Structure 1
């Protein structure tokens, strides 16, 4: 009365959580054989007790052996992609074990009968019936276990992919934040130091906006997406600090339609684009830089500035912009549209409906 078991863990060395399956599965595997004997040789409580108890013992032992085999096979073919090799090897082992063992068990039961009701097993009919039932149940239970194992491996693969994705995004975010923090904080503290002696009221306002900027950096670090409303609020505080530093040499124009304020985008998108414009363009009172942020009718965000490059070498795609482009790609969002006509630099940002 053979049966099949398997390992529900990731590999053969881990603990197996199939206690209840065995408790339920062993009696179920025995019942068809008990029913066969009662039908074949007559209904008797003694015959029922004898065949059932014998079946529970023999099936329990067989279960353990087949369970060991499945664990062994999974150490050879543990990957989700090795499903075919794992199933073929596992079920081949079931077959090679069941075909010789089940006939021996059938012979033993008929010759160690304490009730005197079981006649010697008719060959080959009874042997074929018992072997077929044993194989059928072994394959059925083995199939259930393999399905459980495959689903578990699939869930693990999804968790690993999500963890890797989150780690990658967090790494990129930290890298981006580190680009902002040192230089921006240094310049901001210099501006604050000057304001404290010149205009204490303005210094207080500057400190409040600086706190808002860094609060946003900390709060949004755990998110993949944020609302356009939050980004606009943040960038206004950021603009305040920039304008305090550059005065009339820089100006900003924000034209965002209220319809799109709940749309989503990666945090620090606007800061990256603004910082990119500041890093690579001349900002002087006689040559001021004007940045425009506006929504367009199709639900996208346009960020643009005139091109007045500093006399330094600029890569084809600036570092911050390249990182931002990669973040959009890894999040599965539509790509940024970058246009440079020699006079104006424009970046169109896709917005995701909430």
Structure 2
């Protein structure tokens, strides 16, 4: 995992260092015999220590995080920071002793080192929390990106799901028509060509207008009518307003295919498929006349429709089956909602 580098502005570093230096001189200001020089030197030394430890800790975090980023406290790193801090404070205390040579620093050296350790610990823990926050944000962003990539891949797979037997069946139908000298063979070839042209064009899009989807459905219906020769009827009751709404490509075609695939289609008793709009929904329905042995259908087609609406739009597709009438209800998608 790529580590997030710490980003702390110079203004924050300098202002906080100077503030800590001034605060360290507050006890001297409160003394009865206040010495401005001693207070100023003490504030300067403390500020210098804070400034140096800011940059030391930032370097330690950045260097070690690039090698092996961690989301918990690194005790070797903490020990290194404290040892460096003790050495720096000892050196600054020696400089302070050179400036204020009249003061005996022996009794106060321990207090100075303790102050340095406390300041260093505060900086270290602050940077640790900041580093963890950066890494948590990065992990969350990566998880979100992976989630979006996964949903995108799933949706692309869903769009690619077309019955592999369709072309095979269509070519067999065309072969029979040509052998029988059927005059509609040329129309069949044109409709088949149009159908696959619509397929190639629509696969590039997440949503198309219902009117464009109906062109795909009509081409598909023509091809199936040539194959089944009056074994089913298809009634369309969609007005112009509904035709201007949006729909995932091949949704209606897949549902019509589902009706023909799973139900008995015969010239004696044609299967009636109806497509209409009601209560902000596009409804496709047919009487239930399941083929023998079709009771264990995998339901891939319906899952395809449901998952596409869920992944792309977070909308629910209603499926109603009372044993006599089968309905699939698709929520209308208006163009301004999509944008």
The TM-score, its normalising length taken from structure 2, stands at 0.74
Report if aligned partners of 2:60, 2:77 keep a CA contact under 8 Å in 1. Answer: no
Aligned with 1:349 (options 323, 330, 337): 330
Deviations 1:45-100 (A, max 9, x none): xx98x99998777654443334455567744x5xxxxxxxx3xx35x777655555
| SS at 1:278 equivalent | helix
Report if aligned partners of 2:5, 2:62 keep a CA contact under 8 Å in 1. Answer: no
C-alpha spacing 1:253/1:25, structure 2 compared with 1 (3 Å) = same
- Given the alignment of the two structures, is residue 134 of structure 1 paired with residue 104 of structure 2, yes or no? no
Report if aligned partners of 1:29, 1:59 keep a CA contact under 8 Å in 2. Answer: no
Q: Which residue of 2 aligns with 1:305?
A: 286
Q: Which residue of 1 aligns with 2:301?
A: 320
Please report how far the alpha carbon of residue 236 of structure 1 lies from its aligned counterpart in structure 2 after TM superposition.
1.7
- Given the alignment of the two structures, is residue 252 of structure 1 paired with residue 238 of structure 2, yes or no? no
- Given the alignment of the two structures, is residue 340 of structure 1 paired with residue 326 of structure 2, yes or no? no
Aligned with 1:64 (options 56, 59, 67): 59
Q: Which residue of 2 aligns with 1:148?
A: 134
Q: Which residue of 2 aligns with 1:216?
A: 198
C-alpha spacing 1:131/1:28, structure 2 compared with 1 (3 Å) = farther
| SS at 2:333 equivalent | coil
Deviations 1:277-300 (A, max 9, x none): 11122222222222111111x211
Deviations 1:190-216 (A, max 9, x none): 44445567466x444433332332233
> For 1:183-332, what aligned pairs fall within 5 Å after superposition?
183-193=165-175, 198=181, 202-296=184-278, 298-315=279-296, 318-331=299-312, 332=314
CA distance in 2, matches of 1:28, 1:138: 17
CA distance in 2, matches of 1:277, 1:40: 94
| SS at 1:309 equivalent | coil
Report if aligned partners of 2:54, 2:123 keep a CA contact under 8 Å in 1. Answer: no
Please report how far the alpha carbon of residue 113 of structure 1 lies from its aligned counterpart in structure 2 after TM superposition.
6.1
CA distance in 2, matches of 1:105, 1:320: 72
- Given the alignment of the two structures, is residue 105 of structure 1 paired with residue 100 of structure 2, yes or no? no
CA distance in 1, matches of 2:38, 2:189: 94
Count of aligned pairs? 319
| SS at 1:64 equivalent | helix
Q: Which residue of 2 aligns with 1:4?
A: none
CA distance in 2, matches of 1:117, 1:217: 87
Report if aligned partners of 2:158, 2:304 keep a CA contact under 8 Å in 1. Answer: yes
Q: Which residue of 2 aligns with 1:7?
A: none
The TM-score, its normalising length taken from structure 1, stands at 0.71
